[in-house]
């Protein structure tokens, strides 16, 4: 089962919604399940991120030129790491806006977002001229009508940046241990006094070995660890 929770704004009030995909047998089925379970008329496009590598043969799947279509305005992307997933979603949002791969346009082979191959470097973060023209054409058409409305109000938290401490307080109030024990935090499963971060680098252990890559092909993540020995 895949589940996501999100908050929607409707007529000035928020509504907490939980979206669960119980079982699908194909990529098309996954898209259809998401469409069926999302409240219509709230979002312009729904993006579903999954770690299920077996259902999707590609990094993402969507419908061509179906932005604002209430039956098809969604995409599914595999979580392949922060930057890689963001680029994948941008590429498939381009498809929703009616863009096709650069190799199939007069622009020819490119190193831009809508290329069939992913390239590193600044060019891979920009639209080609053909993609820009396709987007402009779409936005000037009646198919982009859902993008012309104005939100009722600014959603809570917009234009603000919350550090890790504040994010934890949203869920656990003053402490991650319990609501009535200030200045404590959870460390290795125990609630202990908070003494601050490591004071000097000499208290850090040596770095461990690099882990295996999170994906066998394409963009992935590898990591290594060290521990804080500050008492």
φ, ψ at 60 (rounded to 5°): -160, 165
Do 97 and 140 meet the contact criterion of CB atoms below 8 Å apart? no
Task: Give the integer Cα–Cα distance in Å for 38 and 135.
Answer: 26
Q: Which two tokens stand for residue 138?
A: 């779409």
Q: Residue 96 and residue 91: Cα distance in Å, rounded?
A: 9
**Which residues are part of a known binding site?**
91, 95, 101
Q: How many C-beta atoms lie closer than 10 Å to residue 151's C-beta?
A: 8
Closest CA to 138 of 77, 47, 64, 70: 64
What residues are designated binding site for Zn(2+)? Answer: 91, 95, 101
Contacts of 158 (CB under 8 A, 6+ apart): none
């Amino acid at each position: 089962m895949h589940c996501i929770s999100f908050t929607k704004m409707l007529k000035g009030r928020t509504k907490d919604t939980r979206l669960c995909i119980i079982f699908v047998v194909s990529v098309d089925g996954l898209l259809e399940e998401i469409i069926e379970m999302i409240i219509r008329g709230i979002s312009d496009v729904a993006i579903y991120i999954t770690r299920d590598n077996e259902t999707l043969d590609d990094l993402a799947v969507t419908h061509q030129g179906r932005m604002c279509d209430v039956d098809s305005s969604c995409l599914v992307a595999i979580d392949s790491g922060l930057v890689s997933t963001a680029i994948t979603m941008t590429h498939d949002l381009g498809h929703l806006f009616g863009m096709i791969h650069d190799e199939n346009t007069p622009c020819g082979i490119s190193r831009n977002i809508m290329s069939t191959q992913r390239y590193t470097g600044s060019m891979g973060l920009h639209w080609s001229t053909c993609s820009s023209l396709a987007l402009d054409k779409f936005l000037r058409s009646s198919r982009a009508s859902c993008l012309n409305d104005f939100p009722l109000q600014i959603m809570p938290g917009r234009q603000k940046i919350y550090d890790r401490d504040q994010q934890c307080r949203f869920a656990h109030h003053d402490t991650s241990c319990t609501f009535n024990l200030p200045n404590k935090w959870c460390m290795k499963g125990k609630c202990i006094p908070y003494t601050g971060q490591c004071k000097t680098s000499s208290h850090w252990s040596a770095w461990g070995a690099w882990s295996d890559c999170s994906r066998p092909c394409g963009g992935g993540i590898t990591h290594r660890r060290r521990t804080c020995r500050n008492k």
